[in-house]
Amino acid sequence: MKIFALAAAMLLALGTRASATPSGRVVAVLPLAAADSNMPYGLLPTPSELAIMTARLSAGLRAKGVPLIVAGKVMPAVSAAGFDQATPTRACVVADCARRIGRSVHADAVVVGAVTRAMAVIWGTDFSVVDVRTGKLLGEMNVGYKGDVQAMERGEWDAGGCLARLIQNKKACAPDPGW
Protein backbone atom coordinates (compact mmCIF):
# COMPACT_ATOMS: atom_id res chain seq x y z
CA MET A 1 0.00 0.00 0.00
CA LYS A 2 2.87 2.37 0.78
CA ILE A 3 4.37 1.71 -2.66
CA PHE A 4 1.05 2.56 -4.30
CA ALA A 5 0.79 5.81 -2.31
CA LEU A 6 4.39 6.71 -3.21
CA ALA A 7 3.76 5.97 -6.90
CA ALA A 8 0.58 8.05 -6.85
CA ALA A 9 2.43 10.97 -5.22
CA MET A 10 5.21 10.76 -7.84
CA LEU A 11 2.70 10.72 -10.70
CA LEU A 12 0.90 13.69 -9.21
CA ALA A 13 4.18 15.61 -8.88
CA LEU A 14 5.23 14.74 -12.41
CA GLY A 15 1.83 15.72 -13.76
CA THR A 16 2.05 19.08 -12.02
CA ARG A 17 5.51 19.79 -13.42
CA ALA A 18 4.54 18.69 -16.91
CA SER A 19 1.69 21.20 -17.00
CA ALA A 20 3.84 24.20 -16.09
CA THR A 21 5.49 26.42 -18.68
CA PRO A 22 9.26 26.93 -18.55
CA SER A 23 8.48 30.31 -16.99
CA GLY A 24 6.23 28.61 -14.40
CA ARG A 25 3.30 30.90 -15.24
CA VAL A 26 -0.35 29.89 -15.22
CA VAL A 27 -2.18 32.25 -17.55
CA ALA A 28 -5.67 33.73 -17.71
CA VAL A 29 -6.94 34.81 -21.12
CA LEU A 30 -9.48 37.59 -20.84
CA PRO A 31 -12.18 37.50 -23.49
CA LEU A 32 -10.99 39.63 -26.39
CA ALA A 33 -12.60 43.06 -26.42
CA ALA A 34 -14.10 45.04 -29.25
CA ALA A 35 -12.05 48.13 -30.09
CA ASP A 36 -13.59 51.09 -31.85
CA SER A 37 -11.71 51.92 -35.05
CA ASN A 38 -12.96 55.53 -34.90
CA MET A 39 -13.86 55.22 -38.57
CA PRO A 40 -17.22 56.48 -39.79
CA TYR A 41 -19.51 53.49 -40.13
CA GLY A 42 -16.78 51.32 -38.62
CA LEU A 43 -17.74 47.78 -37.81
CA LEU A 44 -17.31 46.33 -34.36
CA PRO A 45 -16.59 42.62 -34.04
CA THR A 46 -19.74 40.82 -32.91
CA PRO A 47 -19.85 39.04 -29.54
CA SER A 48 -19.83 35.68 -31.34
CA GLU A 49 -16.77 36.69 -33.41
CA LEU A 50 -14.99 37.80 -30.22
CA ALA A 51 -15.86 34.48 -28.55
CA ILE A 52 -14.50 32.50 -31.51
CA MET A 53 -11.34 34.61 -31.61
CA THR A 54 -10.77 34.18 -27.87
CA ALA A 55 -11.25 30.42 -28.17
CA ARG A 56 -8.76 30.22 -31.06
CA LEU A 57 -6.25 32.39 -29.18
CA SER A 58 -6.56 30.12 -26.14
CA ALA A 59 -6.17 27.02 -28.33
CA GLY A 60 -2.98 28.46 -29.85
CA LEU A 61 -1.57 29.12 -26.36
CA ARG A 62 -2.54 25.64 -25.15
CA ALA A 63 -1.01 24.00 -28.23
CA LYS A 64 2.33 25.54 -27.27
CA GLY A 65 2.12 24.21 -23.70
CA VAL A 66 0.84 27.24 -21.79
CA PRO A 67 -1.37 26.19 -18.85
CA LEU A 68 -4.54 28.27 -18.83
CA ILE A 69 -7.13 29.13 -16.22
CA VAL A 70 -10.39 27.73 -17.61
CA ALA A 71 -12.61 30.26 -19.39
CA GLY A 72 -15.48 29.28 -17.09
CA LYS A 73 -13.61 30.98 -14.21
CA VAL A 74 -12.32 33.98 -16.17
CA MET A 75 -15.56 35.17 -17.79
CA PRO A 76 -17.51 35.44 -14.51
CA ALA A 77 -14.56 37.32 -12.95
CA VAL A 78 -14.65 39.84 -15.81
CA SER A 79 -18.40 40.36 -15.33
CA ALA A 80 -18.09 40.54 -11.53
CA ALA A 81 -15.49 43.30 -11.92
CA GLY A 82 -18.04 45.28 -13.97
CA PHE A 83 -16.55 44.86 -17.45
CA ASP A 84 -18.23 43.96 -20.74
CA GLN A 85 -15.73 42.93 -23.41
CA ALA A 86 -18.24 43.41 -26.26
CA THR A 87 -18.58 47.13 -25.49
CA PRO A 88 -15.49 49.30 -26.13
CA THR A 89 -16.39 51.76 -23.35
CA ARG A 90 -16.82 49.03 -20.71
CA ALA A 91 -14.07 46.59 -21.72
CA CYS A 92 -11.01 45.64 -19.71
CA VAL A 93 -8.08 46.27 -22.05
CA VAL A 94 -5.43 47.77 -19.75
CA ALA A 95 -2.97 46.32 -17.25
CA ASP A 96 -4.69 47.54 -14.07
CA CYS A 97 -8.01 45.78 -14.61
CA ALA A 98 -6.31 42.73 -16.14
CA ARG A 99 -4.16 42.43 -13.03
CA ARG A 100 -7.21 42.71 -10.76
CA ILE A 101 -9.03 39.97 -12.68
CA GLY A 102 -5.87 37.84 -12.76
CA ARG A 103 -5.63 38.03 -8.98
CA SER A 104 -9.26 36.99 -8.58
CA VAL A 105 -8.69 33.81 -10.62
CA HIS A 106 -5.22 33.12 -9.16
CA ALA A 107 -3.32 33.54 -12.43
CA ASP A 108 0.36 34.43 -12.68
CA ALA A 109 -0.11 36.33 -15.95
CA VAL A 110 -3.02 37.65 -17.98
CA VAL A 111 -3.41 37.99 -21.75
CA VAL A 112 -5.64 40.88 -22.71
CA GLY A 113 -6.49 42.04 -26.22
CA ALA A 114 -8.62 44.41 -28.25
CA VAL A 115 -9.88 43.59 -31.74
CA THR A 116 -10.36 46.20 -34.43
CA ARG A 117 -12.41 45.46 -37.49
CA ALA A 118 -11.40 48.14 -39.97
CA MET A 119 -13.51 46.74 -42.81
CA ALA A 120 -15.50 43.60 -43.43
CA VAL A 121 -12.33 41.60 -44.14
CA ILE A 122 -9.58 43.59 -42.38
CA TRP A 123 -8.94 42.74 -38.75
CA GLY A 124 -6.33 43.64 -36.18
CA THR A 125 -5.69 42.65 -32.58
CA ASP A 126 -3.49 44.41 -30.01
CA PHE A 127 -2.34 42.13 -27.19
CA SER A 128 -0.67 42.72 -23.84
CA VAL A 129 0.61 40.17 -21.35
CA VAL A 130 0.54 41.41 -17.75
CA ASP A 131 2.43 39.95 -14.79
CA VAL A 132 -0.19 39.71 -12.04
CA ARG A 133 2.29 39.96 -9.15
CA THR A 134 4.11 43.10 -10.33
CA GLY A 135 1.60 44.68 -12.69
CA LYS A 136 4.32 45.10 -15.30
CA LEU A 137 3.82 44.35 -18.97
CA LEU A 138 5.68 41.20 -19.97
CA GLY A 139 5.18 42.15 -23.59
CA GLU A 140 2.91 43.48 -26.27
CA MET A 141 2.06 42.29 -29.75
CA ASN A 142 0.01 43.62 -32.65
CA VAL A 143 -1.28 41.41 -35.44
CA GLY A 144 -3.31 42.16 -38.51
CA TYR A 145 -4.91 39.94 -41.09
CA LYS A 146 -7.08 40.24 -44.13
CA GLY A 147 -9.66 37.71 -45.16
CA ASP A 148 -12.78 35.88 -44.16
CA VAL A 149 -13.67 34.28 -40.83
CA GLN A 150 -11.20 31.43 -41.41
CA ALA A 151 -8.36 33.95 -41.82
CA MET A 152 -9.43 35.57 -38.57
CA GLU A 153 -9.48 32.23 -36.76
CA ARG A 154 -6.06 31.26 -38.13
CA GLY A 155 -4.69 34.68 -37.18
CA GLU A 156 -5.73 34.30 -33.55
CA TRP A 157 -4.35 30.73 -33.40
CA ASP A 158 -0.99 31.99 -34.70
CA ALA A 159 -1.09 34.91 -32.27
CA GLY A 160 -1.57 32.43 -29.42
CA GLY A 161 1.57 30.59 -30.52
CA CYS A 162 3.58 33.82 -30.61
CA LEU A 163 2.26 34.95 -27.22
CA ALA A 164 3.20 31.53 -25.82
CA ARG A 165 6.81 32.18 -26.89
CA LEU A 166 6.72 35.51 -25.04
CA ILE A 167 5.22 33.91 -21.91
CA GLN A 168 7.76 31.07 -22.01
CA ASN A 169 10.72 33.46 -22.37
CA LYS A 170 11.59 32.08 -25.80
CA LYS A 171 12.75 33.94 -28.88
CA ALA A 172 9.95 36.17 -30.14
CA CYS A 173 8.13 35.59 -33.40
CA ALA A 174 9.04 37.83 -36.31
CA PRO A 175 7.09 41.12 -36.31
CA ASP A 176 3.74 40.93 -38.00
CA PRO A 177 3.95 42.38 -41.52
CA GLY A 178 0.37 43.63 -41.20
CA TRP A 179 -2.32 43.33 -43.82
**Residues of the chain above pLDDT 90, percent:** 56
Residue-level pLDDT at 64: 95
Residue-level pLDDT at 2: 38
What is the residue-wise DSSP string for 40-75?
TTPBPPPHHHHHHHHHHHHHHHHHTT--B--HHHHH
Residue 111: helix, strand or coil by DSSP? strand
Residue-level pLDDT at 17: 29
Q: What is the pLDDT of residues 59-83, one digit of tens each?
A: 999 999 999 999 999 999 999 999 9
Residue 118: helix, strand or coil by DSSP? strand
Q: What is the pLDDT of residues 142-154, one digit of tens each?
A: 988 888 778 888 8
Q: What is the pLDDT of residues 96-141, one digit of tens each?
A: 999 999 999 999 999 999 998 777 788 889 999 999 999 999 999 9
Domain extent listing, the chain: 23-167
Residue-level pLDDT at 128: 95
The vertex-116 CA angle with 21 and 33, nearest 5°, equals 55
CATH 3.30.479.10 fits 23-167, yes or no: no
Mean pLDDT of 22-50: 83
